[in-house]
Structure 1
Amino acid sequence: MTGERRSGTAASAGLPAAFAQWFSDRGWTPHPYQLALLDADRDSLLIAPTGGGKTLAGFLPSLIALRNGGQGLHTLYVSPLKALTADIGRNLARPVADLNLPIRIEDRTGDTANAKRQRQRTDPPDILLTTPESLALMLSYPEAPRIFGNLRRVVIDELHALAENKRGDQLMLCLARLRGLSPDLVATGLSATVEDPQALADFMGGAAILHADPGPDPDIAMLPTARPAPWSGGGGHYAIPEVLEQIRGANTTIIFINTRAQAELFFQALWAANEDNLPIGLHHGSLSREAREKVEAAMAAGKLRAVVATGSLDLGIDWGAVDLVIQVGAPKNVKRLVQRIGRANHRYNAPSRARIVPANRFEVIECVAALQAVAERDLDGDPRPPGPLDVLCQHILLTACSGPFDADRLFAEVRTAGPYGKLSRAAFDDCLDFAATGGYALRAYDRWQRLMLRDGHWQLRDPRAARNLRMNIGTIVDTEMTRVRLRSGNLLGEVEEGFAASLVPGDTFLIGGQTVRMDALRELSLVVTPQPSRNPKIAVYSGTKLAMSTQLAHRVLSLIGDPARHAELPPDTREWLAVQGRMSSLPQPGVLLCETFPHAGHSHFAVYGFAGRNAMQTLGLLLTRAMEQAGLGPLGFLSTDYALLIWSVDPVTDPAPLLDRERLRHGLDQWLGDNAVMKRTFRNVATVAGLIQRNLPGARKSGRQATFSSDILYDTLRRYDPDHLLMRITATEAGRGLVDFGRIEEMLDRSPLIEHRRLDRVTPLAAPLLLEVGRVPIKGQGRERLAEAEAAALMAEAGLA
């Protein structure tokens, strides 16, 4: 929360004298955009670099308006993270104390004590710091008109992060509701990384865009290492010595890793090599809240030299001592990389310093492409679809919790929310019918008869249902987790319920940077004992393997396909691609390269689609089904962001019929019908929409219970009401999310020509695929040396010494 640091007295037109003096005393001059927001009488989207004073800009009008005291809730601050609300509260306390302002600031999150929450409903503070879920809960109470009736400002932090998922849609519906309660309020969205400012402004319902000076270019490069990146794998352990050297030379370093499992592994390897005993922490979402808060407090106090983290530290907590970011593994998304870079040198006009460690040879190319995109300030991002209807169903039910409502007025209000600006009345009525009755096939069941029409207004049929609905607020449907406890009872964190179910007593796994042995499963918790001498099984966390963005994939493909640009790559990578070009062909825009070759007694078929991990996984499922139908005897496949490799009894002689768009679409429809992906997606949709209630007074359904219930509902609706609203939502989300069929279609559109190379041995680009985990079984002592020997032999076969 800063202004621009300059010498001399601040020229602070528009600021009251006390505020102008406050800036001047610190040697600051207010940024032009901070002053511009003082007079804003309409919604604004402020895009400013990390450390550029966005938060102060958002709050400055409120601090000035409240300098003589307030009457009730004046300003609402919404962030995606509970930790960020606490950080903002600490930062706001400084100017309030310095200026002796009569302002009461409180937070309201899931961690807030119940007594405090109850008091806030009758006596709200001047400024309330909250999250989308807590805001939705507050709006569901009958007191909402009184609580928010005098609201004048809403500040939405890290708006880009919220806009990427259903939490943003829920928040925009809440914002529309707030406008209905207080028509004169002004909203300000804050963001540092925006690929399409106009689209984000439209997401807010129409906001004026305010750009700040973007600041200096970051100091970002690949980290030079003594050993080259391995041919396959994702750990980045080869660079541990160089990472430690970077940590020694910095004040505080954040090491970002894309997955929780890899973060655990990297932390363990880093600690084993940490001969200087540098204080290094670990932070990710499956650690206990106490463990995360301990690391956050140590970071804030400057007691850690480094922390290994996942996306749990992506967003804007202000740790001024952080002066280096290391990204281990390709970022997969340029916008995410820029966001993470901004964690270093959290100061305006100070370049952020970051180093990237590609995990394997393919990622070397991806990292070069990402660095070029950062230099060109070319952020990636996909267009947002219309507001999801399951979120709207939940919003309708929560609106009924606050009191009776008129359907016409609610429809008009919902249409003022940016994501729902083009919502049809028919779609709204479908959601209202579902909220009221559960839909055609379920209306005979009392448990889903929740709304009734009386005197022209919809209201809860049973007011006691409001408690259950409030207990299930939110759009985040977590993977079912099982707590992990030591025998002493101390909580270490959580692992996926499915992973826990796969363990038997004696099995070992990593959590919190240490290896533990599973002793028993008691009262829904894994009881474990530290076992540092054992090799661990690794907990696999769902949804953590990030897919490369479409824009970054295009950059990678263009770089590989143009030999004139290979000088931009390291020498060993240039040689790898040169041998590939001589032996087969290079993937390039406009052409879909396919290869067929024998290896280890089987035929192998490679497709270099560059469509992202989810899409290539789906393509593998569809092609193996098609190959089975063609009698080719597929035996298995593996997929990466870049390519797909299928091995079979007989070779593919003509890939064109297998890759026919209509055939793939038909195969997708058949595959999805009975597939677990659809049932899993349905469970998530049904939970958000309120059909399945996970939390009930005095009890909580286990993951198995919820899955069993949702599977029965899915099978019932598929048989008796296949056009049910939730079935339509499920089909749309499955195709766009885990399945990502749209990326397959985009791949076929940008590569209309198919080039099929039939070869007598493995190719340089295909060889790393054969080395992926699970494809080359290597066990026992000396695994690393054996893996390197296997890689050397395979690459020699592919023509690389």
Structure 2
Amino acid sequence: MSRLPAPLQSWFDAREWRMHPHQAAMLERADAPALLLIAPTGGGKTLAGFLPTLCELGTAPENGLHTLYVSPLKALAADIKRNLRTPIEEAGLAIRVEDRTGDTPASRKKRQRADPPHILLTTPESLALLTSYEDAPRMFAGLQRVVVDEIHALAESKRGDQLFLALARLQAICPGLRRVGLSATVDDPHSIAELLARHPDSCEILQADPGPDPDIAMLVTEEAPPWSGGGAAYAIPAVLEQVKRHKTTLIFHNTRAQAEIFFHNLWLANDDALPIGIHHRSLDRQQREKVEAAMVRGDLRAIVCTGSLDLGIDWGDVDLVIQVGAPKNVKRLVQRIGRANHRYNAPSKALLVPANRFEVVECLAALQAVKAHDLDGDPRGPGPRDVLCQHILIAACAGPFDADALFAEMTSAGAFATLTRQGFDDCLQFCATGGYALRAYDQWQRLVQRPDGRWQLRDPRSAVRIRQNIGTIQDTDTLKVRWRGRGGAPLGEIEEGFAASLSRGDTFLIGGQIVRYEGLRDLTVEVSRDPGRKPRIATFNGTKFSTSTQLSQRILQMFRHGDWSGLPDHTADWLRLQAEVSRLPEPGRLMVETFPHDGRQQMVVYGFAGRNAQQTLGLLLTKRMEEMGLAPMGFVATDYATLIWGLEAVTDPTPLFDLAALEAGLDGWLAGNAVMKRTFRASATIAGLIERQVGGQRKTGRQATMSSDILYDTLLKYDPDHLLMQITREEAMRGLVDFARIREMCDRVGDRIDHIRLSRITPLSAPLFLEHGRVPIKGSAEERLLQEEVTRLLNESGLAQVDALPSRPRWRLR
């Protein structure tokens, strides 16, 4: 197919439009089994993905589901529905388009299964749920095409693993199903193509003209950034000035709490009463939709937001993007930049606002990467087995299944291509019995093998409970927040742990408003307005991004070359002074500084391994130091370094970095650690061992935590090699503790460790002393300090407090 049908051609002509080359190429290759289109934001990717569908349905309309569209966001599906209606209605095409997400009314969902539209727009979770019904083969019988939008975002998460397993199920129902992937930011097109395609090398990759480079720079401010912190309050006047100069500005933040703080400060400084809003996923849906509608109308001058507005939604007349805080990841930055001037061949305009002094360097590295079109990304490895277990239960809900056929189906799904039969059988047995230590409990006896060899649900009624718990998104336990009074309007959600810390009268920020905690009623936090006092900040669930490996290496290369021409004077002088007083870290080497400060011996390890890995490194190094009698007292970590303080000086750091010893220490530390219990709870919920929804009611976080902790302790004691324990360790190593980065760092540097002994604090280490999140270490150092204090009290009169933490440095740049 290379030509548009007459109604669509007339619609294009009326608008004086012509197809872009990549849109025409998608139409010409409409019959390909798999297509991956990489096109810049504003380049008409979505229309390119749907043109074959519109042409096929426009020339030969059929009843039933023809095209399935899957996106990471419910809001994106709703936006696509609005955009598709325009050509369909104006071209007079008899095509029905509907969306199906968690917000869709139950009555419409039921009708869609009986009478599906021509085009259905949905999310991975809703698609997985649809495949779990007995009538799925009938509903999807005529399906001809699947369009996966923002495929790069899905490919990096368990939601993507869940999606590709669902696509394998659809392919079994519809062998001729064609797959289309759409994205603007793909670092490795071939790896995405392998995920999308049913067979390796069967996916064609189309790359559109990338268009002009974005207009991107760092925001110039009168005040220099602080040494530490993530709020960027210093930049509020400069940001507000940029808002005044532009029509609509999106102000992105990496966390929801930072977005709330910045919005509050921006509002206080907004003397001209410019209309501004805030948008993140912890806010109530109605409030988010209200902000979205105002953006589309062009009523807002600025929107403070998080990743909730990252992806390909066209939010009207946005002409500037501001990223507050280092982006941590070049792909994420490119995606956010693309929200401005959302038109083909129109350069996006963006400004970066570093939150602290070191982030100035990181922002410059990110700018250089964007201009070099150097996207970052890490390989994800094999498909996670907890998602595989959930898919087995989904298959059982749809009816009896043959294990051989299901195994073949699963191994055709991207990340699960390397799955062994033994690995599959282990997951199948877990789903059937719960595993060795749990097989005696009736609640985990879920599958049974029939005389004909096929597997089915032991109790068909359990399908309802399984469906209620389908999904891979693991939100932190949250409680709804409402205005006090019967029928009070909802505001959003806060974490259960934060709510438990509140006393009547405490104030906190949510949705940019200062509210007063009044009490808890029916698991809902009731609040009233209280604008008069300084608020606490709600601790919102959200990803705490680590700087990507590629971005870290760029920073190290900048240090090696010593070219500070792109840096403000205050940051360039800071780095020059570091080079004079000590050294700058280098790629391929590990720099360790040791020096006394505030009566303690300090060691700084510049690993540039990302925050999670540097945090884990602090735990493992202090454990090694304790074993070696060095009396560590605590540590703090950032994306680029770990600071450890103690009573004894480290004279030779090399033995501390023995990889085998670090890994052995990690195994011992993980076994009884809260990190493992949190990871176990998430994986056990995905795998179906723990239910968060029972009878339509969601368990409280405390209930879920208690049951998962009891299960974890039981398995640790009686069945430590249980499948869920194996999965938990894999997930903890890959995610929360990020040990792979520590392993990569040790392999990269080998014995090339530069130990620099100094007599005082260094410029590069100074910000670490101002960091929050200090972790105290209880061990021999604590005992020694107690003994010294007893001795002092016996020999002196009066009392004095022993300060176990270093004070803030008095060093400053001259």
Q: Same fold (TM over 0.5)?
A: yes
Q: In structure 2, what is the equivalent of residue 465 of structure 1?
A: 462
Q: Is the 8 A contact 2:37 2:205 kept in 1?
A: yes
Q: In structure 2, what is the equivalent of residue 723 of structure 1?
A: 721
CA shift at 1:542, angstroms? 4.1
Structure 1 counterpart SS, 2:537: coil
The counterpart of 1:680, out of the listed 678, 681, 688, is 678
The counterpart of 1:629, out of the listed 627, 630, 649, is 627
Structure 2 counterpart SS, 1:66: helix
Q: In structure 2, what is the equivalent of residue 40 of structure 1?
A: 30
* AA partner of residue 330 (structure 1): A
What are the superposed Cα offsets for residues 158-213 of structure 1, whole Å, 9 maximum, x if unpaired? 10011110000010011011011111111101000000000000011342111111
Using the alignment, how far apart are the partners of 1:347 and 1:700 within structure 2?
A: 43
CA shift at 1:760, angstroms? 1.2
| Larger mean Cα displacement after TM superposition, 18-27 or 110-119 | 18-27
Matched, 1:254 2:223: no
Structure 1 residue runs without a partner (length 5+) = 1-11, 777-789
Q: Is the 8 A contact 2:407 2:424 kept in 1?
A: yes
Structure 2 counterpart SS, 1:258: coil
Matched, 1:202 2:156: no
Using the alignment, how far apart are the partners of 2:139 and 2:245 within structure 1?
A: 51
The counterpart of 2:269, out of the listed 269, 273, 278, is 273
| Larger mean Cα displacement after TM superposition, 518-527 or 347-356 | 518-527
CA shift at 1:775, angstroms? 7.0
CA shift at 1:490, angstroms? 2.1
| Larger mean Cα displacement after TM superposition, 734-743 or 748-757 | 748-757
Using the alignment, how far apart are the partners of 2:279 and 2:541 within structure 1?
A: 17
Q: In structure 1, what is the equivalent of residue 581 of structure 2?
A: 583
Matched, 1:55 2:49: no
Using the alignment, how far apart are the partners of 2:54 and 2:39 within structure 1?
A: 20
| Larger mean Cα displacement after TM superposition, 569-578 or 323-332 | 569-578
CA shift at 1:379, angstroms? 0.2
Using the alignment, how far apart are the partners of 1:320 and 1:290 within structure 2?
A: 19
CA shift at 1:473, angstroms? 0.5
Structure 2 counterpart SS, 1:432: helix
* AA partner of residue 25 (structure 1): A
For residues 594-613 of structure 1, the aligned pairs below 5 Å read 594-613=592-611
Q: Is the 8 A contact 2:297 2:316 kept in 1?
A: no
What are the superposed Cα offsets for residues 271-303 of structure 1, whole Å, 9 maximum, x if unpaired? 111111000000111111111111111111111
Using the alignment, how far apart are the partners of 1:122 and 1:526 within structure 2?
A: 40
Matched, 1:476 2:473: yes
Kindly tell me the number of residue pairs found equivalent between the two proteins: 772
Using the alignment, how far apart are the partners of 1:432 and 1:467 within structure 2?
A: 20
What are the superposed Cα offsets for residues 491-522 of structure 1, whole Å, 9 maximum, x if unpaired? 21111111111222232221111222222222
CA shift at 1:34, angstroms? 1.4
Structure 1 counterpart SS, 2:293: helix
Using the alignment, how far apart are the partners of 1:419 and 1:773 within structure 2?
A: 38
Matched, 1:286 2:282: yes
For residues 120-519 of structure 1, the aligned pairs below 5 Å read 120-205=112-197, 206=200, 207-454=203-450, 455-488=452-485, 489-519=488-518
What are the superposed Cα offsets for residues 254-282 of structure 1, whole Å, 9 maximum, x if unpaired? 00011111100100110111111000000
Structure 2 counterpart SS, 1:492: strand
CA shift at 1:701, angstroms? 1.3
Using the alignment, how far apart are the partners of 2:591 and 2:404 within structure 1?
A: 54
Q: In structure 1, what is the equivalent of residue 529 of structure 2?
A: 530
* AA partner of residue 665 (structure 2): G
CA shift at 1:228, angstroms? 1.2
| Larger mean Cα displacement after TM superposition, 31-40 or 667-676 | 31-40
Using the alignment, how far apart are the partners of 1:539 and 1:601 within structure 2?
A: 36
Matched, 1:795 2:811: yes
Structure 2 counterpart SS, 1:597: strand
Q: Is the 8 A contact 2:211 2:344 kept in 1?
A: yes
What are the superposed Cα offsets for residues 509-564 of structure 1, whole Å, 9 maximum, x if unpaired? 2111122222222221222222222222222234432110010011111112332x
Using the alignment, how far apart are the partners of 1:345 and 1:445 within structure 2?
A: 59
CA shift at 1:13, angstroms? 5.0
Using the alignment, how far apart are the partners of 1:306 and 1:693 within structure 2?
A: 40
Using the alignment, how far apart are the partners of 1:546 and 1:471 within structure 2?
A: 30
Using the alignment, how far apart are the partners of 1:293 and 1:275 within structure 2?
A: 26
CA shift at 1:567, angstroms? 2.5
The 1:407–1:197 alpha-carbon spacing in structure 2 relative to 1, beyond 3 Å, is same
Structure 2 counterpart SS, 1:723: coil
Superposition RMSD in Å: 1.5
Q: In structure 2, what is the equivalent of residue 766 of structure 1?
A: 765
Using the alignment, how far apart are the partners of 1:684 and 1:158 within structure 2?
A: 25
Using the alignment, how far apart are the partners of 1:542 and 1:317 within structure 2?
A: 23
What are the superposed Cα offsets for residues 563-593 of structure 1, whole Å, 9 maximum, x if unpaired? 2x22232222121111111111111112211
Q: In structure 1, what is the equivalent of residue 744 of structure 2?
A: 746
Structure 1 counterpart SS, 2:761: coil
Divergent runs of 4+, >6 A: none
Structure 1 counterpart SS, 2:260: helix
Q: Give the TM-score taking structure 1 as reference length.
A: 0.95
Q: Is the 8 A contact 1:767 1:794 kept in 2?
A: no
The counterpart of 2:20, out of the listed 23, 26, 31, is 31
Q: In structure 2, what is the equivalent of residue 112 of structure 1?
A: 104
Using the alignment, how far apart are the partners of 1:533 and 1:761 within structure 2?
A: 44
* AA partner of residue 276 (structure 1): D
Using the alignment, how far apart are the partners of 2:365 and 2:371 within structure 1?
A: 10
* AA partner of residue 153 (structure 1): R
The 1:416–1:536 alpha-carbon spacing in structure 2 relative to 1, beyond 3 Å, is same
* AA partner of residue 504 (structure 2): P
Using the alignment, how far apart are the partners of 1:506 and 1:600 within structure 2?
A: 39
Using the alignment, how far apart are the partners of 1:751 and 1:98 within structure 2?
A: 62
Using the alignment, how far apart are the partners of 1:19 and 1:448 within structure 2?
A: 55
Using the alignment, how far apart are the partners of 1:676 and 1:451 within structure 2?
A: 31
Q: In structure 1, what is the equivalent of residue 4 of structure 2?
A: 15
Q: Is the 8 A contact 2:230 2:355 kept in 1?
A: yes
Using the alignment, how far apart are the partners of 1:474 and 1:773 within structure 2?
A: 34
CA shift at 1:751, angstroms? 2.3
* AA partner of residue 556 (structure 2): L
The counterpart of 1:592, out of the listed 558, 567, 590, is 590
Using the alignment, how far apart are the partners of 1:262 and 1:754 within structure 2?
A: 36
Using the alignment, how far apart are the partners of 1:413 and 1:511 within structure 2?
A: 45
The counterpart of 2:640, out of the listed 639, 642, 646, is 642
What are the superposed Cα offsets for residues 469-508 of structure 1, whole Å, 9 maximum, x if unpaired? 0000101111100122221322211111111112222322
Q: In structure 2, what is the equivalent of residue 64 of structure 1?
A: 55
* AA partner of residue 461 (structure 2): R
What are the superposed Cα offsets for residues 384-414 of structure 1, whole Å, 9 maximum, x if unpaired? 2111111111111111111111111111111
Q: Is the 8 A contact 1:320 1:345 kept in 2?
A: no
CA shift at 1:22, angstroms? 1.8
CA shift at 1:123, angstroms? 0.7
What are the superposed Cα offsets for residues 650-677 of structure 1, whole Å, 9 maximum, x if unpaired? 2222211222211211110110000011
Using the alignment, how far apart are the partners of 1:292 and 1:449 within structure 2?
A: 42
What are the superposed Cα offsets for residues 125-177 of structure 1, whole Å, 9 maximum, x if unpaired? 11111111111111111110100000011111110011110000010011011
Using the alignment, how far apart are the partners of 1:201 and 1:135 within structure 2?
A: 21
Structure 1 counterpart SS, 2:351: strand
Q: Is the 8 A contact 1:260 1:544 kept in 2?
A: no
Q: Give the TM-score taking structure 2 as reference length.
A: 0.93
* AA partner of residue 6 (structure 2): A
